Structure 1
Amino acid sequence: MSIYDVFSSGSKPFDKAEWAAQKQAQRQEAYELIDNTCSEMMADGESFRQYLDVQGRFDRYSVANAVLVSAQMPEATQLKDYNAWKQSRVYVNKDAQKIVILEPSKEYTRDDGTKAVGYNAKVVYDISETSAKDRQQAQEPKTMRELVSAMIDASPVPFVPVADLEIPAYYDSKQQTIFIKTGLTEEQLFVSMAKEVSAAVFDFKHNESRDASDFKSFCVAYMVSTRYGVDTRGFSFDRLPREFSEMDTQVFKGELGSMRDVLGEIQSDMFKSLEKNKPPKNKEQER
C-alpha cells in the first residue's frame, strides 16, 4: 500500500492540459494589461506618476512587473508568493487580493533562430493582505547629509559648487562636471543633484546627451527622492512631453527600461555608500 492512498478519497484528477491553458490565459492577460496600462500612462500624467512610485519602491523589478503592480495595487510595499510568505510564518488572508506578475522561465529558440526567454504568470500578495500587515518595517530614516553624501558617491563625475549659477544644478558633459548652485535648501540640493547625476549616468552608460535624457533624468530623480522620503512636491507630471505621449508602446517601454537601469545603478551605489558610512551600533542598540 502506498502512502499516497491517504490522498485518494474524493480527489480530482490533475488535468495538465487544462492547467497549461489557464496559465497561458493568465500570462496573456498580463501582457495585455501591461500594454493597456502603458497606453494609459502616456495619456495620463497621474497614471505615469503612479508607475514611477511603484518602480521607485521596487527598483529591482522589471518594467513589466512594475507596470503590472501599478495597475493592480499601486500602494503595495512588499510582495511574495503564497509559499514564500508561509516559509516566513506569515499567512495570506483568505480573500487576499492577488497580484499577477511575470517571472522568467525557460530559454527557447524563435523561428528566426534567435534565443529568447519565456515568462510564466506568478501570483503574489502584498504584506497588507497577510497576517503580518501590522508588522511592516518602516524604512530607516536618513539625514539629508547622509543622502547628499551618498549621491556624491553615486555620481560618475565630480561636483563644483558655484554662486552665480542661474539654475539649481547643471551637468556639463564637456567638462564632465556637475555644477551646483550654492544657497539651496537641503532638499532642493538633493533633488537637483539626483537629476544631474541621472543625466551624467545616461551620458556615460547610455551615450545619451543631457538634453536627450532630460525628462528621463527628471523621472529618475523623482523615483530616487520618493524612495528616501524627500519632498517631491516640486515635481509635476500633469502632461508628458509630446515625444513620450506619442510614442509606440514598445518604444515607450524601452524608455522606461533605460530609466529603470539608471535608477538601479544610482540606488545600488547609494546603498553601498550608506551602508559603508553607517555609524557603528553601540551595545545598547544591539540588544
Structure 2
Amino acid sequence: MSSFDDLFRQEYEQPATKSDQAFDKEAWKQQKREQREMVYCLIDNMAVTIAQNGAKFQGYLDVQSRFDRYSVANTLLILAQKPSATRIADFDAWKEQGVYIRKKESGFYILEPGEEYQRNDGTTGINYNPKKMFDISQTGNAHKRETPTYPDDRTRIKALMDHTPVPIRICETLPSGVNALYSSEAREIQIRRGMDAGSIFRALSQELAHAEMDKGDQSYNRTEHGFHAYCVSYMLCKQYSVETSSFYHFEGAPQELSALEPQEIRAELSVMKEAANEISGRINRMLAQQRQQKRPEPER
C-alpha cells in the first residue's frame, strides 16, 4: 500500500512562499521622492520648451483643449510623455471597464492630490503624487475610440452666446478687418453683421476671453492680454471643431512667455485655461440642456 506521509513532511519542510524580505518603508519613500522630483523637473522643462518653440506651444494648446479639466501641470506632463493621448485612465480604472493594457506598454505620469500639510506660515498645502496613466491607444480597445459629436453651426453659436458676462450687439461701424471687439469701458462686445458661422465663433470666442479676463480691476490690459485671448479662442475652436488651420499661427516662440521662469509660464497658461473653462462650461451646460430636452418621453 502506498504511503502519503511524505505529503505532510513536505508541508513543514518546504519554505514558505511569502518573501522573507521585509518591506523597506524608507526605500519606498525615497523612490516616491525621486519620482516626484522627476515629474516636477519634466513639468519645468516642458514649460520652458513651449515658451521657446511655437510648434510645441501649439501642441500644448491642442492637448489642453482635449483635456480641458486637467491642470496646466498635468497638461504639460501629457504633452511631454504622450502628446497624442485622447482618453487616459490608470490601470485599475481601465480594468474596471473591462479593458486591458497591452504588453510592453509602460504608461506615463501625471500628478494627483495627496495628503494636506501645514506650511511654515500656517497655511494648508497639498502634496501631489505621481500617478501612472495609460492612453486608450495603449489598450486592447484602441480601435474602439469614440468619435466625438459636435453641434450644428447655429446651436454652437447660440451656446457660445449663452449667459455671457457682457451683452453682445451687432455694430455697423467696426474698423476694417475687425470682426468683433470687446470694450472694457462699455462692458459690451460689438460684432460685425453678416459673417459666416466659423468667423463668428472665432471672433466672438476671442472677445469673450477678453471679457472673462477683465475682472474690473487694474490687472486687465487689452494689449497685454491679447495673446491670452488668441490662445483661448484657438483652444475653444479645437474643442468644438471649428476650423483653425488658416486662422491661427504659432510659428515663432511666444514672445510673451519666452523670458519668464517656469512657474511664471505656468501662471500665464493658467489664466488662459481658466478663461477657456469659464466659456466652455457655459457652452457645455447649454448643450447638455438641449440634449436633455430632445430625449423622448418614456411611455406611460
* Aligned match of 1:4: none
Which stretch of the first structure deviates more once superposed, 88-97 or 61-70?
A: 88-97
Kept after mapping to 1: 8 A contact 2:99/2:141: yes
* Aligned match of 2:181: 170
Distance in 2 (CA, whole Å) between partners of 1:225 and 1:194 is: 8
C-alpha offsets along residues 90-109 of structure 1, whole Å, 9 cap, x if unaligned? Answer: 11112124110011111112
Secondary structure at 1:107 match in 2: strand
| Normalised TM-score (structure 1) | 0.91
Distance in 2 (CA, whole Å) between partners of 1:62 and 1:193 is: 25
Aligned amino acid, residue 285 of structure 2: K
Cα distance, 1:31 vs structure 2: 0.3
* Aligned match of 2:204: 193
C-alpha offsets along residues 12-69 of structure 1, whole Å, 9 cap, x if unaligned? Answer: 5432222222221111101000110111111101111111111111111111000000
* Aligned match of 1:81: 90
Distance in 2 (CA, whole Å) between partners of 1:253 and 1:168 is: 30
- Relative to 1, partners in 2 of residues 1:95 and 1:205: Cα closer, same or farther, differing over 3 Å? farther
Cα distance, 1:147 vs structure 2: 1.1
Cα distance, 1:275 vs structure 2: 1.2
CA-based RMSD: 2.0
Matched, 1:218 2:230: yes
Distance in 1 (CA, whole Å) between partners of 2:260 and 2:166 is: 31
* Aligned match of 1:5: none
Q: Aligned match of 1:244 in 257, 270, 278?
A: 257
* Aligned match of 1:109: 118
The aligned runs of 1:1-287 (5 Å cut-off) are 9=17, 11=19, 13-165=22-174, 166=176, 167-204=178-215, 207-233=219-245, 234-278=247-291, 280-282=294-296
Distance in 2 (CA, whole Å) between partners of 1:227 and 1:154 is: 19
Cα distance, 1:231 vs structure 2: 0.7
- Relative to 1, partners in 2 of residues 1:226 and 1:205: Cα closer, same or farther, differing over 3 Å? farther
Distance in 2 (CA, whole Å) between partners of 1:241 and 1:36 is: 16
- Relative to 1, partners in 2 of residues 1:192 and 1:27: Cα closer, same or farther, differing over 3 Å? same
Distance in 1 (CA, whole Å) between partners of 2:199 and 2:186 is: 23
Distance in 1 (CA, whole Å) between partners of 2:216 and 2:29 is: 41
- Relative to 1, partners in 2 of residues 1:221 and 1:150: Cα closer, same or farther, differing over 3 Å? same
Could you tell me which runs of 5 or more consecutive residues in structure 1 were left unpaired when the two chains were aligned.
1-7
Q: Which has the larger radius of gyration?
A: 2
Secondary structure at 2:114 match in 1: strand
Distance in 2 (CA, whole Å) between partners of 1:248 and 1:35 is: 9
- Relative to 1, partners in 2 of residues 1:282 and 1:266: Cα closer, same or farther, differing over 3 Å? same
Distance in 2 (CA, whole Å) between partners of 1:42 and 1:139 is: 30
Distance in 1 (CA, whole Å) between partners of 2:121 and 2:285 is: 42
- Relative to 1, partners in 2 of residues 1:135 and 1:13: Cα closer, same or farther, differing over 3 Å? farther
Cα distance, 1:174 vs structure 2: 1.1
How many residues are aligned here?
278
Kept after mapping to 2: 8 A contact 1:202/1:209: no
Aligned amino acid, residue 171 of structure 1: Y
Distance in 2 (CA, whole Å) between partners of 1:97 and 1:173 is: 50
Secondary structure at 1:230 match in 2: coil
Could you tell me which runs of 5 or more consecutive residues in structure 2 were left unpaired when the two chains were aligned.
1-15
Distance in 2 (CA, whole Å) between partners of 1:216 and 1:274 is: 25
Cα distance, 1:10 vs structure 2: 5.0
Distance in 1 (CA, whole Å) between partners of 2:205 and 2:145 is: 28
C-alpha offsets along residues 70-122 of structure 1, whole Å, 9 cap, x if unaligned? Answer: 11111101110000111111111121241100111111122343321111110
Secondary structure at 1:209 match in 2: coil
- Relative to 1, partners in 2 of residues 1:252 and 1:162: Cα closer, same or farther, differing over 3 Å? same
Secondary structure at 1:71 match in 2: helix
Which stretch of the first structure deviates more once superposed, 199-208 or 122-131?
A: 199-208
Aligned amino acid, residue 48 of structure 1: F
C-alpha offsets along residues 102-159 of structure 1, whole Å, 9 cap, x if unaligned? Answer: 1111111223433211111100000111122122111112111111101101521111
Distance in 2 (CA, whole Å) between partners of 1:192 and 1:180 is: 8
Secondary structure at 2:30 match in 1: helix
